[in-house]
Structure 1
Amino acid sequence: MNFLEDVPVVRRIDTNRDDLFAVELVGHVRAPDVENLFGLFEAACAQHSRIDVLVRLVDHDGVDWADIAADTLKQGSAEAANHVGRCALIGESSWSNRMQGWLAAPSTVEIRHFPATGEADAWAWLDAHEKPADV
């Protein structure tokens, strides 16, 4: 086993806003990673009636959509429709298009895609910033 296989795919991003759920997705996203992501997302929704979301893709090389349980996707979509106001997707546009389709079905979520070079614009759109990591 390669030690890099143990690196978490889903990483929380600390921000200046309690009501902003921000994550970084690194590499290939498998079904267990999506389960982890949705668990974190549900916790954020439980803490706030309305939240904004920021998803940053890094070295993205695909999502195992076919391996993700239909109930998981349905429940995540319902949570998003009930709790998310704005969603900023940063990175590869083909993945963002799939996410936009999943999030937008019947909801009022305002979704914008930003290329990796436009990340500062995504943060500004959400009126937020990333907190520096404690070292």
Structure 2
Amino acid sequence: MNFLDTVPAIRRIDTDRDDLFAIDVVGYVSAADAENLFGLLEAAYALHPRIDVAVRLVDHEGVDWADISDDTLKQGTIRALEHVGRCAAIGEPDWTADARRFMPVPAPVELRHFSAEEEAMAWQWLDAEPIGGQ
């Protein structure tokens, strides 16, 4: 297998907001994809102390949780709680209930799920729009 055989599952979505981190999650998310995602988020945090996030699931086939290090998951959760204001989850499955279990009460992150049909509402809630036919 060469690098052309696999396409990254995490793909950036350009938006009209600099402080919005928006991604498509396409297909199956490998441990390498997850590690890359955490790196991209760290770069976003370095540019903006507070960000909003949009996660659009496209033909989601699961996540390789077993091969993602516990330290990476723990640190990723801590950093998200420090930096994320709002997070819109678009598409299925709805993972927001699972995410809330890892958050303190009251949660510092506003987390909402939107079905694929409600995507326009998600962008409105985030006061943003994707740029270029996305």
TM over 0.5: yes
1:85 and 2:94 are equivalent in the alignment: no
CA contact (8 A) 1:93 1:113 kept: no
Alignment correspondent of 1:24: 24
Alignment correspondent of 1:58: 58
Which 5+ residue runs of structure 1 have no aligned equivalent? none
CA contact (8 A) 2:96 2:111 kept: no
Distance change in 2, residues 1:113/1:94 (3 Å): closer
Alignment correspondent of 1:33: 33
Which 5+ residue runs of structure 2 have no aligned equivalent? none
CA contact (8 A) 1:90 1:114 kept: yes
CA contact (8 A) 1:24 1:55 kept: yes
In the alignment, the residues of structure 2 paired with residue 30 and residue 99 of structure 1 have an alpha-carbon distance, to the nearest angstrom, of: 19
In the alignment, the residues of structure 2 paired with residue 28 and residue 75 of structure 1 have an alpha-carbon distance, to the nearest angstrom, of: 22
Following TM superposition, by how much is the alpha carbon of 1:101 offset from its aligned partner in structure 2, in angstroms? 3.4
Following TM superposition, by how much is the alpha carbon of 1:7 offset from its aligned partner in structure 2, in angstroms? 1.6
Alignment correspondent of 1:98: 98
Alignment correspondent of 1:73: 73
In the alignment, the residues of structure 2 paired with residue 16 and residue 23 of structure 1 have an alpha-carbon distance, to the nearest angstrom, of: 14
Taking structure 2 as the reference length, the TM-score comes to 0.89
1:116 and 2:116 are equivalent in the alignment: yes
Following TM superposition, by how much is the alpha carbon of 1:93 offset from its aligned partner in structure 2, in angstroms? 3.0
- Higher helix fraction (1 or 2): 1
Alignment correspondent of 1:43: 43
Identity across the alignment (%): 61
Taking structure 1 as the reference length, the TM-score comes to 0.89
Q: Give the SS at the match of 2:21.
A: strand
